[in-house]
């Protein structure tokens, strides 16, 4: 590991800046997918399937990319490929004339997100001292939340304040806003190049100094580590729930008469609360254990979402409940990254973090499909109740001691 630096690492701040731009583009695009699916004649089941397609390709490639990140001394290629795919996804979505092509374009968007996330997490796990890792992962995930704040706001403004407009108007507005998302992601490409420059030099030095591993740590061995397995479950529940909120809140808004701009504000409130919890992480960890914070993260988010559908017709109350849920949803993710990183050998950190992402993607495939099927008879609120049940179940299963 490199010696700790007193001054902020330039590469880390560049990585964070690239993450903000990528997530802004991604979270501008994703609510628009739901509106586009509805405009093309889809229903809640199709919204769930399209949301699941975002995670489908990453399920197949997550572990391979994680192994590659462990072997490569430079993460520049993976980072740049991720930003380019994140740029291509919105352009493809804008031109997609059918539900099938919307789902395929959503899968391209998911692959871009996977590449960028694995490269960023692996860089932090490789170059940041363990004593500073919680803070670094907290800043990295806070950048994701900042993009999740700005993106839906822009999406809501682009779609307008009218609650009931024609499908043709919805489709035109969504396509134009998707072009903006692609342009924002393109801005991240030169920033991502700068983010990997310093890390590349250190990677070469660390690789030369460290003994080569005899063989890669197997997936079975990684899953046998209790900390890896329990943190995968927690991360899966938290991230899949965030996806379901983004996908199904527009449907809940259409049902209750809340205009897209109002949905954008509510999604931004959720993201702002997640930013606050991630920036407060060092303070919270000085008073409570990581295990206690993850348990609170799962249970607190689950309780907030359980109440939300009943009171969603009151925007102020809905905003408060989403702020509570968002605070707890943001809390757990960076902690799971640190615990998994600390639980495995240094030469298996990229693979372990990729395994965590694989679990996330499996959840992002299965849970939105289940949410869509449940929303068909129960309404969009049923998707949120299902997420609440998953979160509460994960908090009960979480070990009290690690």
Collapsing DSSP to helix, strand or coil, 136 comes out as helix
Distance CA 57, CA 31 (A): 20
**The residue to which tokens 């689950």 are assigned:** 302
Q: What CATH number should be reported for the domain holding residue 196?
A: 1.20.1250.20
Question: What is residue 399's predicted lDDT score, i.e. its pLDDT?
Answer: 52
Per-residue pLDDT for the chain (402 aa), expressed as one digit of tens each?
334 344 347 778 888 899 999 999 998 888 888 888 888 888 878 887 887 788 777 777 777 777 777 676 667 778 888 999 999 999 999 998 889 999 999 999 989 988 898 888 888 877 777 777 777 888 887 888 788 788 878 887 877 654 566 677 778 888 888 999 999 999 999 888 876 544 444 444 334 334 444 455 566 777 777 778 888 888 888 888 888 888 888 888 888 888 888 888 898 899 889 889 888 888 898 888 888 898 999 999 999 999 998 988 888 999 999 999 999 998 888 888 888 888 887 777 777 877 887 787 787 778 877 887 887 787 788 888 998 998 998 888 655 444
8-state DSSP, 8 = P
User: Measured in whole angstroms, how far is the alpha carbon of residue 370 from the centre of its chain?
Assistant: 19
CA geometry: angle at 63 spanning 57 and 66, to 5°? 115
Q: Note whether residue 3 is domain-resident.
A: no
Question: What is residue 306's predicted lDDT score, i.e. its pLDDT?
Answer: 92
Q: Note whether residue 44 is domain-resident.
A: yes
Collapsing DSSP to helix, strand or coil, 212 comes out as coil
Q: Note whether residue 1 is domain-resident.
A: no
Select from 302, 330, 266, 122 the least CA-distant residue to 206.
122
Collapsing DSSP to helix, strand or coil, 47 comes out as helix
Q: Residue 68's CB: how many other CB atoms inside 10 A? A: 19
Give yes or no for a contact between 297 and 331, defined as CB atoms under 8 angstroms apart. Answer: yes
Q: Note whether residue 153 is domain-resident.
A: yes
Q: Which residues are CB-neighbours of 93 under 8 A, at least 6 positions away?
A: 29, 32, 33, 36, 102, 105, 106, 109, 178
Q: Residue 400's CB: how many other CB atoms inside 10 A? A: 8
Q: Note whether residue 121 is domain-resident.
A: yes
Select from 182, 172, 121 the least CA-distant residue to 336.
121
Question: What is residue 160's predicted lDDT score, i.e. its pLDDT?
Answer: 65
Q: Note whether residue 42 is domain-resident.
A: yes
Residue 29's alpha-carbon distances to 10, 86, 177, 185, 380, in angstroms, are 29, 10, 8, 11, 20
Distance CA 152, CA 347 (A): 38
Sign of the CA dihedral 168, 174, 175, 180? positive
Q: Which residue segment(s) compose the domain that 93 sits in?
A: 10-207+216-397
What's the total number of domains in the chain? 1
Q: Note whether residue 60 is domain-resident.
A: yes
Distance CA 384, CA 399 (A): 25
Give yes or no for a contact between 272 and 278, defined as CB atoms under 8 angstroms apart. Answer: no
- What is the greatest pairwise CA distance in the chain? 63
User: Measured in whole angstroms, how far is the alpha carbon of residue 7 from the centre of its chain?
Assistant: 28
Q: Note whether residue 92 is domain-resident.
A: yes
């Amino acid at each position: 590991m490199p010696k700790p630096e007193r001054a902020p690492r330039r590469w880390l701040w560049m990585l964070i800046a690239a993450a903000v731009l990528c997530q802004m583009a991604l979270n501008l695009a994703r609510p628009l997918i739901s509106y586009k699916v509805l405009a093309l004649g889809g229903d809640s089941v199709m919204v769930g399937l399209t949301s699941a397609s975002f995670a489908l390709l990453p399920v197949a490639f997550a572990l391979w990319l994680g192994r590659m990140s462990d072997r490569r001394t430079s993460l520049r290629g993976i980072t740049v490929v991720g930003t380019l795919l994140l740029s291509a996804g919105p352009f493809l979505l804008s031109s997609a004339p059918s539900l099938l092509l919307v789902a395929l374009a959503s899968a391209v968007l998911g692959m871009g997100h996977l590449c960028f996330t694995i490269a960023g997490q692996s860089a932090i796990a490789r170059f940041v001292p363990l004593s500073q890792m919680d803070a670094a992962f907290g800043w990295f995930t806070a950048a994701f939340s900042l993009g999740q704040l700005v993106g839906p706001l822009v999406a809501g403004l682009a779609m307008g304040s009218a609650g009931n407009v024609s499908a043709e108007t919805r489709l035109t507005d969504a396509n134009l806003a998707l072009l903006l998302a692609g342009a924002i992601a393109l801005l991240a490409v030169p920033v991502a190049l700068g983010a990997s420059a310093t890390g590349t030099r250190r990677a070469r030095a660390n690789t030369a100094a460290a003994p080569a591993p005899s063989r890669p740590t197997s997936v079975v061995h990684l899953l046998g580590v209790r900390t890896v397995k329990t943190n995968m479950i927690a991360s899966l529940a938290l991230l899949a729930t965030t996806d379901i909120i983004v996908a199904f809140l527009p449907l809940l808004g259409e049902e209750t008469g809340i205009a897209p701009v109002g949905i954008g504000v509510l999604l931004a409130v959720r993201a702002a609360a997640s930013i606050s919890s991630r920036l407060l992480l060092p303070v919270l960890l000085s008073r409570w254990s990581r295990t206690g914070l993850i348990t609170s993260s799962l249970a607190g988010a689950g309780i907030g979402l359980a109440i939300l559908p009943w009171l969603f017709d009151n925007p102020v109350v809905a905003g408060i409940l989403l702020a509570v849920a968002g605070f707890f949803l943001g809390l757990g993710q960076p902690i799971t990254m640190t615990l998994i990183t600390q639980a495995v050998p240094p030469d298996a950190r990229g693979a372990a973090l990729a395994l965590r992402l694989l679990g996330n993607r499996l959840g992002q495939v299965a849970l939105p499909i289940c949410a869509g099927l449940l929303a068909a008879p129960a309404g969009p609120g049923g998707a949120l109740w299902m997420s609440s049940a998953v979160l509460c179940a994960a908090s009960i299963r979480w070990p009290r001691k690690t």
